A and B are shown apart, each in its own frame.
Chain A
Amino acid sequence: MAEFRTRLKELRASRNMKQGELAELVGVRRETIIRLEKGFYNPSLKLAVDISRVFGLKVEDVFIFEDSNEE
């Protein structure tokens, strides 16, 4: 089964962006961003795309799925 992790925190830090600012840009609550960063919540496709667009990256560069069965 694929494991899921995000680069949200490091991308935010590199742009000096706070959680609240990112939340406002993508139209969600700060609590949602917290859960995304901790990997406790899988975003919808729309939210994932919106977040990726904020950072100017592809979805797979922000949300990384690592297949645990890969060698």
Chain B
Amino acid sequence: MDTKEKIRMLRKRSADKSISREERQSALEEYKYEIYRNDKRKLISVVDQEKFTAVQSLAYSVFFALMGIDLGDEHTNIWMLYIFAPIVFCVFLFLNRYFDLKFKKEPDDELSLRNKALSNTIGFYCAIIVTIIAALIYFQILGHDTLVIRSKSAILMIFSYINMMLFINKVIFLIIEGRVKSIDDETEAEE
């Protein structure tokens, strides 16, 4: 059976209501994997995908924080909100679409899913620790008595915090995955 025929058969089987749900799911997964295997575009690995997401999350976190923080008597910068914000979003939107069209994404396997779950758990506790440390620095070391968050800034600070947590999760995942390189003894030439 040639590849196109196999893909057609798998797609048909994944939509066949006469077979069980598990068999349809299995056929769907195999169909997606065959599409991926026969895709001739250059591959972007799971690690590279996470690196891009980490950079994007950090950029969004810093950006939303800068927009939301009330610095002394300064108000939210209108230029940031109406000019810079759309530019930043458009840049990342463009990059996301560019990568989607130009490259094929390596799918997650059981190990990467396990490492992502592990990094999410560790990242949650790290985010709490980072928050406590930031609060200690702000109130104790820098000596501020209050932190003013206006209602218009609250949603921006929430977005910033969520992106910061996402960034921490991605960094932990990259650290876990990076340990593989230290034990990789097959050279590029051999591959």
Contacts and interface: CB of A to CB of B under 8 A. Distances in A.
A29 B109 contact: yes
B106 A24 contact: no
8 contacts: A18-B191, A20-B191, A29-B111, A31-B111, A31-B177, A34-B186, A38-B183, A40-B183
A69 interface: no
B110 A34 contact: no
Interface of B: 33, 37, 45-47, 106, 109-112, 177, 180, 183-184, 186, 190-191
B109 A18 contact: no
Of the four ranges (under 10, 10 to 19, 20 to 34, 35 or more), the interface on chain A belongs to 10 to 19
Could you say which of B106, B112, B177, B180 has the most chain A C-beta atoms within 10 Å of its C-beta?
B180
A31 to B, nearest CB: 5
A35 B110 contact: no
B109 A27 contact: yes
Could you say which of A18, A28, A31, A41 has the most chain B C-beta atoms within 10 Å of its C-beta?
A31
Contact of A24 (B37, B45, B180): B37
Given A32-B111, A44-B110, A18 B180 contact: no
Interface of A: 18-20, 24, 27-29, 31-32, 34-35, 38, 40-41, 43-44, 47
A35 B177 CA distance: 10
A31 B47 CA distance: 10
Contacts of A28: 109-111
A53 to B, nearest CB: 15
A27 B33 CA distance: 8
Contacts of B45: 29
